[in-house]
Structure 1
């Protein structure tokens, strides 16, 4: 953190930052429309019962 502070002080605010996504990053929309993982996680498979 000290190194980040020193670099930002020398080179300008926001030059170095943590790997956090921007608030309005374009990939947020793609992530919101992602389908469930029915085929990749056994515990998320739908359960069907018959009598």
Structure 2
């Protein structure tokens, strides 16, 4: 954290941040609308019961 603080002080506030995604990041919207991974994830297969 000390190094992070020093870099931000030297190069401007918010220049270096932790790897936390922003709320309105462009990839966040794409991720929300992706198709299910039925062909690669067994846990995401739909199941039917009779």
* TM-score strictly above 0.5: yes
Alignment of 1:25-40 (within 5 A): 25-40=25-40
Q: Which runs of 5+ in 2 are unaligned?
A: none
Aligned residue pairs, count:
50
Question: How far apart are the structure 2 equivalents of 1:49 and 1:25?
Answer: 39
**How large is the RMSD of aligned CA atoms in angstroms?**
1.7
Structure 2 vs 1, CA of residues 49 and 22 (structure 1 numbering), >3 Å: closer, same or farther? closer
Compare 19-28 and 8-17 and name the one that shifted more. 19-28
Higher Rg = 1
TM-score (norm 2): 0.71
TM-score by length of 1: 0.70
Give runs of aligned pairs for residues 1-51 of structure 1, distance below 5 A.
1-49=1-49
Structure 1 runs not aligned, ≥5 long: none
